[in-house]
């Protein structure tokens, strides 16, 4: 099973983001797949294939590592895409916040990594810099981000009050991310 750790978006905020993405990308929807509102999240760490042993140990290690952590007060702001070049495979909404709130987000990422190490899950040697984002659309072939997308000016407050371990299910039909574990952040 492939899994990832993420902060899910509350339903009302997710619906607003999806509606804005739909409006901006409407003419290009044949080239893109929009993420459904109930699948929107900020990925903290992608685990990839996760063994049954790690899945059994991880919840307790996450509880330990997340002790004292709180819900960061963030904002969904601006839009962008990956990779950096002209043909984007992922279009996303940006995540911003006051420095101490972004530090708290960074501490959540560190806590996830500590829990994974303690559970025996392999961590990559050199990790890419963490760019917090919420993926809204994917393109298999890649496309130049449309102007309407680049001009999107999201600005929504978001208190990230839950962390989930989610299954990354890449089925033929609708993508779903069943939750394997969840914890509220105060
Ligand atoms: O929704 P986002 O973009 O934040 O891009 C995938 C998605 O993140 C990412 O994990 C999340 C759930 O699928 N992902 C998938 N395969 C990946 C990989 N091989 C990956 N991230 C890094 N390496």
CATH number of residue 120's parent domain: 3.90.1140.10
* Joined tokens for residue 4: 């990832």
Distance CA 93, CA 63 (A): 29
Pairing state between β 133-143 and 155-159? unpaired
Q: What are phi and psi of 105, to 5 degrees?
A: -60, -45
Residue 147 C-alpha to ligand 1 middle, in angstroms? Answer: 25
The per-residue pLDDT for 172 is 60
- The closest of 81, 171, 86, 91 to 138, measured between CA atoms, is 91
Residue 81 C-alpha to ligand 1 middle, in angstroms? Answer: 13
The number of the ligand 1 atom at minimal distance from the alpha carbon of 35 is: 1
Residue 111 C-alpha to ligand 1 middle, in angstroms? Answer: 19
Residue numbers of the domain that contains 82: 2-184
Q: What is the pTM of this model?
A: 0.95
Pocket test for ligand 1, best of 43, 129, 130, 163 (most atoms within 8 A of CB): 43
Residue 184 C-alpha to ligand 1 middle, in angstroms? Answer: 23
The per-residue pLDDT for 153 is 87
Distance CA 18, CA 29 (A): 13
Distance CA 18, CA 26 (A): 11
The per-residue pLDDT for 90 is 97
Ligand 1 binding pocket (C-beta < 6 A) is 4, 43, 46, 48, 90, 135, 168
The per-residue pLDDT for 97 is 98
Residue 55 C-alpha to ligand 1 middle, in angstroms? Answer: 18
Q: Which protein residue has the closest C-alpha to ligand 1 atom 7?
A: 43
The per-residue pLDDT for 171 is 65
The per-residue pLDDT for 13 is 98
Q: How many residues does the chain have?
A: 186
The per-residue pLDDT for 125 is 80
Which is it for the CA torsion 22, 25, 26, 29, positive or negative? negative
How many domains does the chain fold into?
1
Q: pLDDT under 70 in the chain at which residues? A: 126-127, 171-173
């Amino acid at each position: 099973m492939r899994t990832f750790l993420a902060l899910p978006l509350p339903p009302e905020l997710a619906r607003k983001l999806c509606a804005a993405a739909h409006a901006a990308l409407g003419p290009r929807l044949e080239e893109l797949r929009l993420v459904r509102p109930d699948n929107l999240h900020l990925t903290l760490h992608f685990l990839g294939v996760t063994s049954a042993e790690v899945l059994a140990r991880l919840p307790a290690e996450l509880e330990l590592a997340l002790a004292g952590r709180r819900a960061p007060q963030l904002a969904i702001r601006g839009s962008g895409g990956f990779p950096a070049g002209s043909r984007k495979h992922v279009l996303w909404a940006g995540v911003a916040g006051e420095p101490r709130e972004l530090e708290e987000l960074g501490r959540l990422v560190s806590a996830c990594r500590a829990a994974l190490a303690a559970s025996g899950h392999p961590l990559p040697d050199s990790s890419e810099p963490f760019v917090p984002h919420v993926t809204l659309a994917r393109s298999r072939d890649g496309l130049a981000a449309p102007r309407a997308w680049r001009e999107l000016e999201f600005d929504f407050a978001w208190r990230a009050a839950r962390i989930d371990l989610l299954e990354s299910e890449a089925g033929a039909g609708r993508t779903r991310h069943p939750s394997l574990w969840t914890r509220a952040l105060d």
